[in-house]
């Protein structure tokens, strides 16, 4: 990739040079990318990746062939350059870019600022990643980065925050990595089936068919991160087990990666029961959204209580996600934020 051409222009030539600052000066940077095919991937279909960068960083980007001209404030242009160069290096490795990759690169550039030397070839490594057989899974926000670090360091990790922040997906990715590396013998995925009161006998079919509707998001993550044939084989062999929380009682889960999803819908006793299932050489991940509790009014969420009671115990990690970490679609973050601002204050739960 060629070195960028940089030009500084003041908005009004009548303003004395001493009055012009870097904040008011308009910077123009021209970037040229050697590989036309990779440049096409970088810019996105119909230039959608460039359009996202424009909106998020407040710059103007004009594409001509494999060249792009960036215009805006000095800081914003530097951030845009960092984003484009980082994504170009990623496109070289992966031959594709998802919208989430672009959003993640933008957030990384914003968090890093533009005051330090930037190395496009290594900057992406500032965020942690999970290496799977199918593909690497990279953190796209600072919270996701902290989450992956916590998963690697702690035997028990709580991940709390709104939908769309990647809590469950990254938890499953970490469990799959442990399974592929033979660090654990099996993966156990569980959810409380609140809507049916965990009384699933009236539903037709065998156990898997009864609980599938409640555990579909977990299946989606598995099939997204592993080859479908391997998933089916592991399910049949019992190396991957998906079950409602009620079926965890009385078990000791050793040599396993255990995930409890939608944990905000557990009762205090259910959460205590689940956490005490942790056996030798096992990892446990608990995820949930405290703002979406479906328990009967007045009943304490087991997730909220566990986070409060266990927050300072050594060996336990807790990462909190916010609307800023939503990565599903840029509109989802705005929707979550709008609901959060409109929601009345939640009454304090009775912990007695």
Q: Residue 105: what pLDDT?
A: 83
Instruction: Give the burial class of 321: count Cβ atoms within 10 A of its Cβ; 0-12 exposed, 13-18 middle, 19 or more buried.
Output: buried
Beta bridge partners of 349: none
Q: Residue 337: what pLDDT?
A: 75
What count of other Cβ atoms lies within 10 Å of the Cβ of residue 338? 11
> Is 238 in contact with 264 (CB distance < 8 Å)?
no
Q: Residue 124: what pLDDT?
A: 43
CA distances from 303 to 85, 210, 300 (A): 41, 25, 9
CA distances from 217 to 74, 108, 169 (A): 43, 27, 9
Q: Residue 111: what pLDDT?
A: 72
Q: Residue 114: what pLDDT?
A: 47
- Please state, in angstroms and rounded to a whole number, the distance separating the CA atoms of residues 111 and 216: 34
> Is 350 in contact with 300 (CB distance < 8 Å)?
yes
* pTM greater than the 0.95 cutoff: no
Q: Residue 172: what pLDDT?
A: 95
Q: Residue 171: what pLDDT?
A: 95
Q: Residue 156: what pLDDT?
A: 95
> Is 42 in contact with 91 (CB distance < 8 Å)?
yes
- Please state, in angstroms and rounded to a whole number, the distance separating the CA atoms of residues 219 and 261: 12
- Please state, in angstroms and rounded to a whole number, the distance separating the CA atoms of residues 76 and 87: 16
- Please state, in angstroms and rounded to a whole number, the distance separating the CA atoms of residues 326 and 328: 6
Q: What domains does the chain contain, in order, with CATH numbers?
A: 5-11+22-126 (3.30.1370.10), 133-342 (3.40.50.300)
Q: Which residue has the tokens 């672009």?
A: 102
Instruction: Give the burial class of 217: count Cβ atoms within 10 A of its Cβ; 0-12 exposed, 13-18 middle, 19 or more buried.
Output: middle
pLDDT by 10-residue block (mean), the chain, 352 residues: 51 47 72 90 89 90 90 89 89 81 81 52 62 86 91 94 90 96 93 57 59 75 92 93 82 91 92 92 94 85 93 90 76 75 64 40
- Please state, in angstroms and rounded to a whole number, the distance separating the CA atoms of residues 99 and 118: 22
């Amino acid at each position: 990739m060629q070195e960028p051409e940089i030009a500084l222009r003041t908005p009004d030539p009548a303003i004395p040079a001493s009055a012009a600052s870097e904040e008011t000066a308009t910077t123009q940077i021209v970037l040229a990318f050697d590989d036309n095919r990779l440049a096409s991937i970088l810019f996105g279909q119909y230039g959608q990746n460039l359009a996202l960068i424009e909106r998020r960083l407040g710059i103007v980007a004009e594409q001509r062939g494999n060249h792009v001209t960036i215009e805006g404030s000095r800081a914003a242009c530097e951030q845009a350059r960092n984003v484009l160069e980082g994504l170009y290096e990623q496109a070289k490795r992966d031959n594709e870019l998802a919208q989430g990759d672009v959003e993640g690169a933008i957030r990384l550039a914003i968090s890093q600022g533009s005051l330090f030397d930037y190395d496009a070839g290594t900057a992406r490594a500032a965020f942690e990643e999970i290496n799977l057989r199918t593909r690497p899974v990279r953190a796209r926000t600072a919270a996701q980065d902290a989450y992956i670090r916590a998963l690697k360091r702690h035997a028990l990790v709580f991940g709390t925050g709104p939908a769309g922040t990647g809590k469950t997906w990254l938890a499953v990715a970490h469990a799959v990595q442990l399974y592929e590396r033979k660090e654990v013998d099996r993966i156990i995925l569980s959810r409380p089936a609140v809507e049916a009161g965990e009384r699933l006998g009236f539903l037709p079919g065998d156990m898997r068919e009864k609980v599938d509707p409640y555990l579909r998001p977990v299946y989606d993550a598995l099939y997204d991160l592993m080859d479908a044939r391997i998933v089916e084989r592991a399910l049949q062999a019992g190396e991957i087990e998906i079950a409602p929380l009620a079926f965890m009682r009385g078990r000791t889960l050793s040599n396993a990666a255990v995930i409890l999803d939608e944990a905000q819908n557990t009762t205090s006793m259910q959460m205590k029961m689940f956490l005490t299932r942790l056996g030798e050489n096992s990892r446990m991940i608990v995820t949930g959204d405290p703002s979406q509790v479906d328990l009967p009014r007045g009943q304490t969420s087991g997730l909220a209580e566990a986070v409060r009671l266990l927050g300072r115990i050594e060996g336990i990690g807790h990462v909190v996600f916010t609307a800023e970490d939503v990565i599903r679609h840029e509109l989802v973050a705005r929707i979550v934020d709008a609901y959060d601002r409109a929601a009345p204050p939640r009454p304090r739960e009775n912990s007695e």
